[in-house]
């Protein structure tokens, strides 16, 4: 894709997010998905939980870093989040992320995987057409994907760090929805979630060059000597466009995890001593 073409298509996308709180818990939403009667979706803020610093307060990560946040705190946080979002706790099914591109199709028989039951196989993406299951992804700077096919009534969710984004996990989510449920990319409503922004995401020049070679666009800007500032939202949008999603159906939230310490955890800002937010999507 040429730079000028992307800029024209970007102008037709939706930009920005909605934020609100319920029961003391904060949620980021894409307006396009929030307007759909067939789903519930969102991305949690860090407010409203029971965890102590540095996981304060709504940490949704089990055993992520040392010192560990006690698992009973994390379970309680998930219960609080579910009550605020109107989700059954026993409907949750969470990715078993490995910073890759594997996508797994799940159903109600997978409810509780990664919580009260054994984890899923390693995967960074989930899809389903079963309204009994809530797809959960984990984030603390990495990108998120939310996908909804209102025609075939199917959803997808993904976690995308730089490895997953470079490997096109967004495209893999769409291809899996097409294979499993007959989804047509032109029908899919898509959004990303809060992630670290270009101004805050310093990478080596070699990694930035990989992104620009893969996606054919200026995905970064100059930084310190030997460094570049990488924009994860550009490759997120490009892989959705190239998979066939219409630009009018794509939302880029432009919510930076690093720049919102009161609302969002950031692995890079906290140098690893931090909790996780959750992305979630469920069919009604």
The answer to whether 265 and 45 have CB atoms below 8 angstroms apart is no
Q: What pLDDT is recorded for position 64?
A: 74
Tokens of 278: 């959750």
Q: Give the Cα separation of 220 and 211 in Å (integer).
A: 9
Q: What pLDDT is recorded for position 120?
A: 98
Within 8 A by CB and 6+ apart from 59, the residues are 46, 49, 51, 69, 73, 74, 77, 265, 275, 276
Q: For 47-101, write each residue's pLDDT tens digit.
A: 999 999 999 999 999 987 777 899 999 999 999 999 999 999 999 999 999 999 9
DSSP H or E run through 23: none
Q: What pLDDT is recorded for position 68?
A: 86
Question: Would you place residue 143 in the very low, low, confident or very high pLDDT band (cuts 50, 70, 90)?
Answer: very high
Distance from the Cα of residue 75 to its chain's centroid: 20
Q: For 173-191, write each residue's pLDDT tens digit.
A: 999 999 999 999 999 999 9
Helices 3-10 and 233-243: crossing angle in degrees, nearest 10, is 90
Compute the residue count for the chain. Answer: 284
Q: What pLDDT is recorded for position 63?
A: 81
Q: Specify the 3-state DSSP secondary structure of 164.
A: helix
State residue 104 phi and psi, 5-degree precision.
-120, 135
Q: What pLDDT is recorded for position 66?
A: 73
Span 17-22, mean pLDDT? 98
| Residue at token pair 């797994």 | 104
**Average pLDDT for the chain:** 97
* pTM, full prediction: 0.97
Span 236-261, mean pLDDT? 98
Q: What pLDDT is recorded for position 133?
A: 98
Q: For 102-122, write each residue's pLDDT tens digit.
A: 999 999 999 999 999 999 999
Tokens of 203: 């990478």
Cα distances from 165 to residues 48, 118, 158, in angstroms, run 30, 27, 10
Q: Give the Cα separation of 126 and 239 in Å (integer).
A: 17
What is the DSSP secondary structure assignment for residue 216, as one 8-state letter?
S
């Amino acid at each position: 894709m040429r730079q000028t073409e992307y800029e024209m298509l970007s102008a037709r996308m939706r930009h920005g997010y909605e934020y609100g709180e319920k029961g003391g818990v904060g949620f980021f939403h894409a307006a396009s998905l929030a307007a759909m009667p067939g789903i519930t979706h969102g991305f949690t803020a860090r407010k409203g939980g029971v965890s102590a610093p540095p996981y304060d307060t709504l940490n949704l990560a089990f055993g992520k870093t040392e010192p560990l946040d006690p698992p009973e705190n994390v379970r309680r946080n998930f219960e609080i989040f579910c009550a605020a979002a109107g989700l059954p706790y026993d409907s949750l099914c969470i990715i078993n992320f490995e910073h890759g591109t594997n996508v797994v199709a799940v159903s109600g028989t997978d409810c509780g995987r990664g919580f009260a039951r054994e984890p899923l196989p390693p995967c960074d993406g989930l899809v389903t057409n079963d309204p009994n299951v809530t797809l959960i992804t984990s984030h603390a700077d990495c990108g998120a994907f939310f996908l909804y096919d209102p025609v075939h009534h199917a959803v997808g969710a993904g976690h995308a760090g730089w490895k997953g984004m470079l490997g096109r996990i967004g495209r893999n989510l769409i291809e899996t929805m097409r294979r499993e449920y007959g989804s047509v990319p032109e029908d899919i409503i898509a959004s990303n979630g809060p992630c670290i922004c270009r101004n805050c995401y310093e990478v080596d020049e070699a990694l930035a060059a990989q992104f620009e070679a893969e996606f054919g666009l200026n995905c970064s800007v100059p930084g310190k000597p030997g460094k570049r500032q990488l924009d994860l939202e550009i490759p997120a949008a490009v892989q959705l466009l190239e998979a066939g999603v219409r630009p009018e159906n794509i939302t880029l939230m432009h919510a930076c995890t690093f720049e919102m310490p009161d609302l969002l955890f950031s692995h890079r800002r906290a140098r690893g001593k931090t909790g996780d937010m959750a992305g979630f999507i469920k069919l009604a």
